[in-house]
């Protein structure tokens, strides 16, 4: 079971307790009764599985995995699968609740879910990774499906992992089940435009907040923490829109380039070395100093809990756009708010990925692939409408953008829950 708030030590960051408190606060802001808030907060199903894997040396190793279905009031569960050594039930539960809110914020017909395996995939061979994935897929197969719960890639998982999951479930059910996962390769039911969709959504929200507060897009200085599936495309997208990415960090270190990083040079250097450190025209800086660099916009695009009170106190940017899930702690958010720093929250800013997954799922059910232009057009329309609605409610409620976005999601979940009633 997930950790109870009373079991968390003071000043200890627990992602599940943090997300639960956000939902509770949204309920108070909206005037919801406590019974409805409890229902929205409580996950519908928590599934923990043991995953035995035969390693290449013949030995058997045991891993632990989870799939948590948080809410299905608005549709089947939706959420990624991550492979990481830090994965635990509280993290997965928090991310599943985040997904419920995120899907409601962008108004797509999904609930929230999340999955993960506690493993360092870098220690596994490709064969071991496939055996781990297939055994995990077998264990959670009763929970997932196009009409119940649809996984997608997340940290340390990709299109190949989704292919193995789709194939495993298809073999179990005796027919091709392309809609059971999203983020697949094109050859087996993927969609044009899915790659980079989260980054595009972040860019749309970045441009959106600049427009709302009356600042020009061109010339804005940006720092990005993370150079992976989200951070890497962002450098090119933001530069193309006239912004200057002046700092970027990965797991190996951070760099600073006051005049703006050349995306092509960075891509080439990273392909050759596996790190952003040493990119031509840049200087290396301590990774923990990235957010202190002189900048206008900070984009955390790596792991959660990185903007602590200490980091928030030295933040140079006046806008934070959360590309990662849960990058700001509650105490960190308090500091940012006191300093007047605008934060576009993760449940809105990084929702481009789940919107893309929704489009892929719809195409799988239809058996018809959209053109890339149609995909991009619909993604931009959905993200812009979501941002505009959150901003409108932000002005009406007089709350921060984070409080407002969570409230919008909770409000829509509560409406669906009320309309469906309680069975039996």
* Catalytic (active-site) positions: 114
Angle at 93 between CA 92 and CA 97, to 5 degrees: 115
Distance CA 289, CA 315 (A): 9
3 state SS for 377-415: HHHHHHHHHHHHHHHHHHHHHCCCHHHHHHHHHHHHHHH
Closest CA to 306 of 327, 331, 334: 327
Cβ atoms of 166 and 348 closer than 8 Å: no
- For residue 17, what is the enclosing H or E element? helix 15-30
Cβ atoms of 30 and 411 closer than 8 Å: yes
Range 333-338, long-range pairs (CB < 8 A, 24+ positions): 333/307, 333/402, 334/309, 335/309, 336/307, 336/312, 337/400
Residue bearing tokens 């360092």: 120
Tokens representing 335? 């500091």
């Amino acid at each position: 079971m997930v950790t109870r708030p009373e079991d968390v030590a003071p000043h200890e960051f627990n992602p599940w307790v943090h997300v639960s408190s956000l939902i509770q606060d949204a309920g108070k802001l909206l005037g919801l009764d406590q019974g409805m808030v409890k229902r929205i907060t409580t996950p519908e199903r928590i599934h923990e599985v043991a995953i035995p894997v035969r390693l290449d040396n013949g030995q058997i190793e045991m891993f632990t995995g989870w799939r948590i279905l948080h809410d299905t009031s608005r549709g089947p569960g939706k959420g990624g699968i991550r492979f990481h050594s830090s994965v635990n039930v509280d993290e997965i539960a928090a991310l599943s609740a985040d997904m419920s809110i995120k899907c409601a914020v962008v108004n797509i017909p999904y609930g929230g879910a999340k999955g993960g395996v506690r493993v360092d995939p870098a220690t596994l061979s490709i064969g071991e990774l496939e055996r781990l994935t297939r055994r995990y897929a077998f264990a959670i197969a009763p929970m997932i499906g196009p009409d119940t719960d649809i996984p997608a890639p997340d940290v340390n998982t990709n299109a190949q992992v989704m292919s193995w999951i789709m194939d495993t479930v298809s073999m179990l059910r005796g027919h091709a089940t392309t809609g059971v996962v999203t983020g697949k390769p094109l050859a087996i039911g993927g969609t044009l435009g899915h790659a980079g969709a989260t980054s595009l959504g972040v860019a749309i929200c970045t441009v959106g907040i600049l427009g709302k507060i009356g600042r020009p897009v061109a010339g804005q200085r940006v720092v990005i923490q993370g150079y992976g599936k989200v951070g890497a495309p962002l450098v090119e997208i933001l530069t193309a829109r006239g912004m200057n990415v002046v700092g970027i960090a990965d797991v190996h270190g951070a760099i600073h380039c006051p005049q703006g990083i050349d995306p092509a040079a960075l891509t080439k250097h990273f392909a050759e070395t596996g790190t952003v450190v040493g990119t031509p025209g840049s200087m290396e800086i301590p990774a923990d100093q990235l957010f202190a660099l002189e900048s206008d916009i900070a984009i955390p695009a790596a792991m959660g809990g990185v903007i602590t009170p200490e980091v928030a106190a030295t933040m140079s940017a006046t806008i934070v756009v959360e590309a990662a899930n849960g990058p700001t702690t509650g105490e960190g958010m308090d500091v940012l708010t006191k300093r007047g720093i605008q934060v576009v929250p993760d449940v809105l800013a990084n929702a481009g990925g789940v919107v893309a997954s929704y489009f892929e799922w719809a195409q799988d059910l239809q058996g018809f692939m959209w053109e890339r232009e149609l995909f991009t057009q619909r993604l931009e329309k959905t993200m812009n409408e979501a941002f505009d609605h959150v901003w409108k409610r932000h002005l009406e409620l007089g709350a921060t953008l984070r409080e407002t976005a969570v409230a919008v999601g909770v409000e829509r979940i509560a409406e669906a829950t009320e309309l469906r009633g309680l069975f039996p």
